[in-house]
Structure 1
Amino acid sequence: MKQKIRLLTIFITTLLVSCNSYAQEKDDYSAKIDSLIKTTNPRSFSGVILITQKGKTKYKNAFGYSNIEKKTPLTTKDNFIIMSNSKQITAVLTLKEVENGKIDLQSPVRKYLPDLPKSWADTVTVHHLLNFSAGITDIDKPLIFKPGSDFKYGNTTYIMLGKIIEKVTGRKYNDVANDLFKKLKMKTTYCFEQGKTQNRVKGYQNTNNNLKLEETPIENNDKVSAAGIISNVTDLNIWDKLLHNGKILKPETYKLMTTYSITAQHNAFGKEKIGYGYGIRVSDKTPIKYLGHTGGGSGFVSFKVYFPETDVDVVVLENQSNENIDLFYEFEIKIREIIMNSNLMKK
């Protein structure tokens, strides 16, 4: 009897060791991310990370403080201003109105915004606004290049798209956006509203690891369609899952969104130029294809990428932005690289 118990104990111990080894072999990224987050030079990390595969959570953690003055720890449920990741939401809202027959991508913006002062409103199309190929720097200034010939990033074109959405729907942008969030069950995502107390973490400007509170990260309500959506990692993961699996846009519209005619370089996605569709960057010349976008400034950083071939989604939100633009996406770049070189990329 004792011999049987001893053999059974050995079998269970061996099984547990094997299972643990197998799990460690499969998860070759968590420890690397944990180690990375401990880094404080050239800057520290303060934010939340969520990584999923096929809808299952693979990594989820929060580091730092939502309120430095009160030393309130961040949690994975906390809300952040997602800055320019708001543009992807505005692109989708625009495309929803394309599906409804209210917006024509190839029509000049003058059709929807007749009071625009410059003559370029007759040649710049909605398509040019969506992929930053309009050459617009400011509504009152001349174009810096012929529409469709180059790429110039900025908030102005997406503020214009917000106005177009309001024009064709007869509703406020915030109401249109918030209705979509409700429909998608993104329960804690909403639009910034100036003068209204909203549930979100405080944002800080980082200068040589000295943090200063950003009192007014969003100057006015007009900026919401370009940089003023408030969300958290869970809701943004829901967004990615639904968007990239055909649950928000029709297949042909999603194809329009993720097809590009213009390329641009962004530090968070490498040194080479990659495609820019409608509110989304498309890296399809790399060994592993991914789609994503970033947002940063005024005390916040947001970063998300989706790998369609392995159904892996990565969302990183921080409540600090760096005075040094080269350090903006310091952690996000390395997290992306860790995941791209992990077992999660094995089909």
Structure 2
Amino acid sequence: MKQIYKFLILFLALIIISCNNTNKDKNRINKTNKQIDDYSAKIDSLIQTTSPRYFNGVILITQNGDIKYSKAYGYSNFENKIPITLKDNFRIQSNSKQITAVLTLKEVDNGKLNLKSPISKYLPEIKQTWADTVTIHQLLNNTSGITSIDEPLLFDAGTEFYYSNVGYGLLGRIIEKVTGKEYIDLANNLFKKLEMHNSYCYELGKANNGLINGYRGTNNEFILVDINTIVNSEEGWKDFIPAGGIISNAYDLNIWDKNLHNGKLINPQTYKLMTSFNHTTDFFNVFGKEKVGYGYGVCISNEPLTNIGHGGKGIGFGSFKFFVPEKDLDVIVLENVYNEDSNIFFHFEREIREIVLNSNLVE
């Protein structure tokens, strides 16, 4: 009996010790988790500030396929006070260029386009002398110097950086010429293949599903933007679509980034060309004060480690996203308020980028 009694005492003691160790392990894990997330509270606090302007939009951060942060803050419709959601569709504006760049590079991979060939090879109808010198490569990395179809180049092609929506409109025409298909159909079919069910090219006069209102914000007053007062013609809009006319949402853009940066859209060597650069620019103040490289429809910053992204703004909307390949980290910020003061337009996007790139997400 004494031996049984001693055994029971020993058994109970072991259970108590085991429970204590389990609790310590749980506390250690909880403590570690709290240490890892050193960014959520900072972002939450940031987007609630009202100076120098209000934040109104959505934020999605993922890493290794897991959602690390998601937030919808503000309204999709100010008049009726409808809360904004992560499923809402936005105009992504110049983030459309990245999609056009991929559609172009897919035809390079298919052997239908040569990056070193001049525009005139594919668009002989353009009679400007610069059509014989400006290459596909220079259209993609915004070193063409094209300001208008009817104007001379701003500089010798390839020597400087100039952000050209017209250049990306020409890429749209070239894609159509070599494929025999409409740019809109090519882009929409790619979205369908990737299961980006909320992404499409905006077409005038047609139903544009899920697109929320865009506003112009001045002195924290929000004025509804009517695209019909901005677009001059259907032909002009068609040329603008490859530069800034695509609709998407945070979840779909996350799908896009994961496919693009993990080798699912273009060949590895082509991707390397896309994310390389010969020129730097301070045009994109969303990346802060530093100059960044410009590849094919993407900006490349190497501080504090390589991050690849782009910004877009206009027609009542703003977009910004960047991907950190080394950490499989994706950050997407979409807003439906356009502030005309360019110095503060990307205020929140810059701050969010700084928070993320100085967080444990990149350690």
TM-score, normalisation: structure 2: 0.91
Say whether residues 1:338 and 2:348 are aligned partners.
no
Instruction: Report the identity percentage.
Output: 56
Amino acid at match of 1:126: I
Q: Residue 332 of structure 1: CA displacement? A: 0.4
CA contact (8 A) 2:198 2:252 kept: yes
Q: What stretches of structure 1 of length at least 5 have no aligned partner?
A: none
Asked whether 1:227 is paired with 2:244, we answer yes
- Contact 1:194–1:221, Cα closer than 8 Å, also in 2: no
**2:340 equivalent in structure 1:** 323
Residue from 125, 132, 151 that aligns with 2:135: 125
- 8 Å CA contact 2:170, 2:239 repeated in 1: no
- Which of the numbers 196, 202, 219 marks the counterpart of 1:208? 219
- Does residue 1:154 correspond to 2:171, yes or no? no
Partner of 2:147: 137
CA distance in 1 between counterparts of 2:80 and 2:18 reads 53
User: Is this contact kept in 2: 1:67–1:201, CA < 8 A?
Assistant: yes
Q: CA RMSD in A?
A: 1.8
Name the counterpart of 1:302: 319
8 A Cα contact 1:117 1:139, kept in partner: no
Q: From 65, 70, 86, give the equivalent of 2:80.
A: 70
Question: 1:123-167: per-residue Cα shift (whole Å, max 9, x none)?
Answer: 111111001101111110010100110000021000111111111
Task: Tell whether the 8 Å contact from 2:306 to 2:324 is kept in structure 1 after alignment.
Answer: yes
Q: In 1, Cα distance between the equivalents of 2:295 and 2:340?
A: 28
Task: Report the residue type matching 2:240 in the other structure.
Answer: K
* Structure 2 CA distance for aligned equivalents of residues 270 and 40 of structure 1: 20
**Alpha-carbon distance between aligned partners in 2 of 1:89 and 1:318, rounded to the nearest angstrom:** 19
Say whether 1:243 aligns with 2:260. yes
Q: What is the letter of the counterpart of residue 311 of structure 1?
A: D
Q: Please show how residues 190-205 of structure 1 align to structure 2 within 5 Å.
A: 190-198=200-208, 199-205=210-216
**2:292 pairs with one of 274, 284, 293:** 274
- Residue 62 of structure 2 aligns with which residue? 52
Q: Name 1:170's counterpart in structure 2.
A: 180
Distance in 1 (CA, whole Å) between partners of 2:276 and 2:16 is 63
Does the 8 Å contact 2:60/2:67 carry over to 1? yes
How far has the Cα of 1:197 moved from its partner? 2.0
Bigger Rg over Cα? 2
Q: Which moved more, 1:171-180 or 1:213-222?
A: 213-222
More off after superposition, 255-264 vs 311-320:
255-264
User: Distance between the aligned counterparts of 1:239 and 1:82, measured in 2?
Assistant: 13
| Equivalence for 1:258 | 275
**1:20 shift after superposition:** 2.8
TM score, norm. by length of structure 1: 0.95
Number of residue equivalences: 344
1:112·1:167 contact (CA, 8 Å) conserved in 2? yes
Task: Report deviation, 1:22.
Answer: 1.8
Gaps of 5+ in 2: 1-7, 232-236
CA positional deviation for 1:287: 2.8
